[in-house]
Amino acid sequence: MYKLVKCATSAVLLIAVFATVNANAQNMSTRYPGIGRDATPAEVEAWDIDVRPDFKGLPKGSGSTLVGQQIWESKCAVCHGTFGESNEIFTPIIGGTTIDDIKTGRVASLSDRKQPQRTTIMKVATVSSLWDYIYRAMPWNAPRSLSVDDTYAVVAYLLSMAEVVPDDYVLSNTNIAEVQKRMPNRNGMTLKHGLWNSKGKPDVNGSTCMTNCIAFVQIGSELPDYARNAHGNIAEQNRQYGPFRGSDSTKPPLAKLPGSSGEGLAHASETHSVAKGPAAMFKNENCSACHAMSTKLVGPSIADISAKYQGQSGAVDKLMAKVKNGGSGVWGPIPMPPQSQLSEEDRKTLVVWVLSGGK
Amino acid sequence: MTKKQIELSAEDISAVEKPANRARLVKAPEHFISQDLIADINSNGLDETRRGFLRKGFFSALGGAAAGLTAPMAFAAGEGDPAILEKQVWQTTLGKNVATMPYGTPSIYEANLIRRESPGLTRVSAASVAFTPLQGLFGIITPNGLHFERQHQGWYNIDPEMHRLMVNGLVKHNRVFTMNDLMRLPSVSRIHFIECGANTGLEWGNVAVPTVQYTHGMLSCCEFTGVPLKVLLDECGADLKKGKFMLAEGGDGSGMTRTVNLDDVLNDAIVAWGMNGEMLRPENGFPLRLVVPGVQGVSWVKWLRRLEVGDMPYATKDEAVHYNDLMPDGLARQYTSIQECKSVITTPSGGQQLLDKGFYNISGMAWSGRGKIKRVDISFDGGNNWRTARLETPVLTKSVTRFNIDWVWDGSPAILQSRAVDDTGYVQPTIKMLRDVRGTRSIYHNNAIQSWKVASNGEVSNVQVG
């Protein structure tokens, strides 16, 4: 009897083990065995962070406009402006919508053209898009650093600036659907077009006319003379041999054809080489992600740094240390991250160049 | 001769001499040297054992430099071309070793043809565009180093062993794949174009940029290798009856997300790792990107980390704020995705300079997000009269097709245009036709006929007719 019981237990155990294996086997492909594995619930939760317009995927939480304002001023305003109005680094977020738009769900300035630049709040129809993007990708230089509640707070603050919610609002997963009903451009999107599917019907179709198609050919638009060199010297953007050279846009157009030998044009032997030196390093090492030559981006401009340290002894060493170890937020709330990847020599080259105003 | 060239040719010579230093690029004209250079090298303290060799190299190259400078010029009648009559350095000295450049780079004479940004277009280079130099390319394939770039939050070289692809949503099993897994699956290799929805977007209102690099350079065409999307979705037991949409998500800081219309692209799309025979370049999504033929580039999500099958579109930031086409009535067309039939003459094109009257091979590219190119017509008089161009093979679906046509230029002003027709019968429209329906503020999906004016001095410029 004892033996029997023991046998029965083993059988149960065996069945249990077999059942587990079998469950795995069910999940495994018969077509491509051995490839891929099931994701664990924790893995799906870690990566599946998208929020749809019907709020599927929106985590529970809440945040007030007041907290949102604090986060905004410390982490967002440097790029987007205190009121989300800045056009310095990115296009403005707030502006161009009215109380009337909130009623109609159509932003009037999109059709009356009174607003010179389209802001985010003018365009966005779905509040989920704001929540999803801020949570997944902001701030610019530290994506995924906002908590769920931080994100509610920042969205609440943005919406309060556009008067979609009151100044003292607390946005949460339970009231966000109500807020959606007040989005200024919620009725501003259309799917009536032929570009969502390759079988869609085109809205415009050209003509196959082959002869005498236009009575009078008129040039409606061309580049003004002052823009001739706005994209740099075109001669240096083309082969300097062969039949199709670039025209020297630093000079006025040629008076006559150069002739088949290319007289007066630059030649292959003068082909310009790939840029080197501190200006190229400034770009390649990603300094230009936060600094520009003369305008303030996330960090100060080269011109401003050069002016601040003008004539100061020890400025080179001081800045070299800052570049290596990172800044402390002297110029604004976002400190510069350490650039320890640079060699001593490269750091010096860069710093000397910055202090010279980028010359 | 500029200082920069002197420095670079010194580098070149040292690369020849010192094969251990192979990674060095060879960037400048060879054998362009002078006494200045010798002084420069000496003052830079080259080691004793090498100095003798280098000096010898410089002196023997001097003759070549003189010939090189005068080579393209006219020569005295009766004698002949110095390029033929004189012995050139490359004919009379020993050339470089194999694998001097273990990963080959273009000739130093091609250094002008690089990706470029359009000044003032964006204010931060990590969320910007670098355009492909179409004015210098041949055939249909874009070299990997010249594939256009559009970054939304900078790019990374992602460790392929740390990269994962998760498939979840309306699937029987949420699955995770490593690169080891994916690259074992049956793969396909197909040639497709990729065009940014905003390509030519600067030109909706008026002519804004000078060359085809900036008007059309958010276009590339490559052979992509990967596993068909359908294989992966079937493998995970996707409910494709209910799940008509798919969210594709990238692994970069922007966590780029786009909704893919499975109803349309399920049988075409590829989860790709290969590009023109090698792995994807990091700036183009290494090690994994989605290839969605015919659909605008933003949906070809790079550093692809997740696919979620769903029953409705996701209205992500780049579907809710950007990549929507604003119409004159203030409504925005959302989820505009298909790149309609389009073409452009690449040589000659804006900013180029013709040398002389006479024969030219006019060449360009045509493509359609709806299928194959059926015909391309060329006008030399601003669209009044048209002639049909030769289509070069291969002519593939949702790929670039190269066209060519003969032209004898008599030296009088001309306006060159190309007009493509695809196999659905759709004809590429004029900018006026597009504006009449869509206005001038849509930014996206400008597939208008491009006009290049050829002036009597041979200079080609960007113009709009009508």
A288 and A351 both lie in a single domain:
yes
Residue to mutate among A114, A218, A238, with most B CBs inside 10 A, is: A238
Tokens of B382: 């601003």
CATH number assigned to the domain comprising residue A105: 1.10.760.10
Measured CA to CA, the distance from residue A258 to residue B397 in angstroms comes to 41
Name the B residues in 343-382 with CB < 8 Å from any A CB: 347-349, 351-358, 360, 369-371, 377, 381-382
pLDDT digits (tens, 9 = 90+) for B294-353: 999 999 999 999 999 999 999 999 999 999 999 999 999 999 999 999 999 999 999 999
Give a yes or no: residue B88 inside a domain: yes
CA of B456 vs chain A CAs: smallest distance (Å): 7
Tell if the CB–CB gap between A213 and B249 is shorter than 8 Å.
Answer: no
Claim to verify: residue B290 and residue B412 sit in the same structural domain:
no
Q: Quick one: A101 and A142 in the same domain?
A: yes
- Which residue in B345, B265, B289, B23 sits closest to B149, CA to CA? B289
A120 contact partners, CB below 8 Å, separation of at least 6:
A84, A91, A92, A93, A94, A130, B321
Does residue A56 lie within any of the structural domains? no
Do A29 and A92 lie in one domain? The reply is no
Q: Are residues A28 and A110 in the same domain?
A: no
Burial class of residue A206 (count of CB atoms within 10 Å of its CB; 0-12, 13-18, 19+): buried
Same domain, A74 and A162: yes
Is the domain of B106 the same as that of B196? no
B342 DSSP β-pair partners:
B367
Taking CA–CA distances from B460, the nearest residue in chain A reads: A247
Asked whether residue A343 is domain-assigned, the answer is yes
The rounded distance, in Å, linking the Cα atoms of A350 and A342 is: 10
| Last residue within a domain, chosen from B80, B110, B140 | B110
Interface check B121 vs A, CB under 8 A: no
Its pTM stands at 0.82
Q: Identify the domain containing residue B416 by its residue range.
A: 342-463
Is a pLDDT exceeding 60 seen at residue A217? Answer: yes
Angstrom distance (rounded) from CA B463 to CA A3: 96
Is residue A120 in a domain?
Answer: yes
Position A270 in a domain: no
pLDDT of residue B164: 98
Would you mind telling me the total number of residues written for chain B in this entry? 466
Bridge-partner residues for B278, per DSSP?
B275
Can you say how many angstroms the Cα of residue B101 is from the centroid of all Cα atoms in its chain? Answer: 23
- pLDDT one digit per residue (tens) for chain B, 466 residues: 333 333 333 344 333 333 333 333 333 333 333 444 445 444 554 444 433 334 333 333 333 333 334 344 555 667 899 999 999 999 999 999 999 999 999 999 999 999 999 988 887 888 899 999 999 999 999 999 999 999 999 999 999 999 999 999 999 999 999 999 999 999 999 999 999 999 999 999 999 999 999 999 999 999 999 999 999 999 999 999 999 999 999 999 999 999 999 999 999 999 999 999 999 999 999 999 999 999 999 999 999 999 999 999 999 999 999 999 999 999 999 999 999 999 999 999 999 999 999 999 999 999 999 999 999 999 999 999 999 999 999 999 999 999 999 999 999 999 999 999 999 999 999 999 999 999 999 999 999 999 999 999 999 999 999 8
The secondary structure of B69-90 as a DSSP string is: HHTTS---TTT--HHHHSPPHH
Q: Which residue of A has its CA nearest to B248?
A: A50
| Residue A109 distance to chain B (closest CA, Å) | 8
Residue B119 lies in a domain: no
Range of the domain at A71: 62-180
The domain boundary residue, chosen from A165, A180, A195: A180
Residues of chain B with C-beta less than 8 angstroms from the C-beta of A111: 328-330
Are B255 and A202 in contact (CB < 8 Å)? Answer: no
For B142-151, write each residue's pLDDT tens digit.
999 999 999 9
DSSP annotation of B17 reads H
**CA–CA dist A157, A174 (Å, integer):** 17
pLDDT number for residue A313: 86
Q: Does A1 reside within a domain? A: no
What is the count of structural domains for chain B?
3
User: Which residues, 6 or more positions from B162, have their beta carbon under 8 angstroms from its beta carbon?
Assistant: none
Is residue A172 domain-shared with residue A108, that is, in the same domain?
yes
Instruction: Return the CATH number at B318.
Output: 3.90.420.10
Structural domains in chain A (count): 3
- B286 belongs to a structural domain: yes
Which of A129, A140, A269 is closest, CB to CB, to B316? A129
Q: What is the CATH number of the domain that holds B432?
A: 2.60.40.650
- Quick check: helix, strand or coil at residue B358? strand
Classify the complex by whether its ipTM is higher than 0.90, answering yes or no: no
% of chain A beyond a pLDDT of 70: 90
Write the DSSP symbol of residue A76: I
C-alpha to C-alpha distance for A73 and A24, rounded to whole angstroms: 51
Residues B58, B35: Cα–Cα separation, whole Å: 9
